[in-house]
Amino acid sequence: MKNSLVAGIRRVEHAVADESNTIDFLGEALRVYSTPSMVHDIEYACWRLIGEHLDPGETSLGVHVAVDHLGATPIGHRVEIAVTVRAVEGRKVTLDAEVRDAAEVVGRGTHARVVTQVERLRPRVGSKRERLEAAGGGSN
């Protein structure tokens, strides 16, 4: 992890509400940017921001997310996802997120991630896979 990963650094990304990231259960007239898509977009913006400040072989993993979806963004409209590092405590990075469309703030939340070595994940995931298969928890 580089010394540049500090509180206050920020990243802004954009997304357009389209068929892939809107709800459909209220009919076409009420297709709006979905909460799961908002969480996804926040998480990936945070991952990319942190990634700019990591050493080769490092990545970050999400460990907590809390998001309030405050307003509806209709299909065809753009949202801005702004994420800011609030704190870096050892390997844990806490970020604040704000999502807005052209009219208002439509989401706000926090996300925590932990920086780790990619190679440390391989044996842990392999071991978990073996335990799940032994317990009959296959992936069918």
**Local confidence band at 138 (pLDDT 50, 70, 90 cut-offs):** low
pTM of the model: 0.93
SS3 (DSSP) at 129: helix
Q: Are 3 and 60 in contact (CB under 8 A)?
A: no
How many whole angstroms separate alpha carbon 138 and alpha carbon 110? 33
Report pLDDT digits (tens) over 17-69. Answer: 999 999 999 999 999 999 999 999 999 999 999 999 999 999 999 999 999 99
| Per-residue pLDDT, 140 | 57
Report pLDDT digits (tens) over 102-112. Answer: 999 999 999 99
How many whole angstroms separate alpha carbon 98 and alpha carbon 109? 7
Name the token pair of 61. 């993993």
Give the end-to-end CA distance of the chain in Å, rounded to a whole number: 38
Mean pLDDT rounded to a whole number for the chain: 96
What's the Cα-to-Cα distance from 47 to each of 11, 67, 90, 107, 129, rounded to whole Å? 10, 16, 17, 18, 24
Q: Are 33 and 73 in contact (CB under 8 A)?
A: yes
The domains of the chain are located at 10-134
Q: Is the CATH code 3.90.79.10 the one for domain 10-134?
A: no
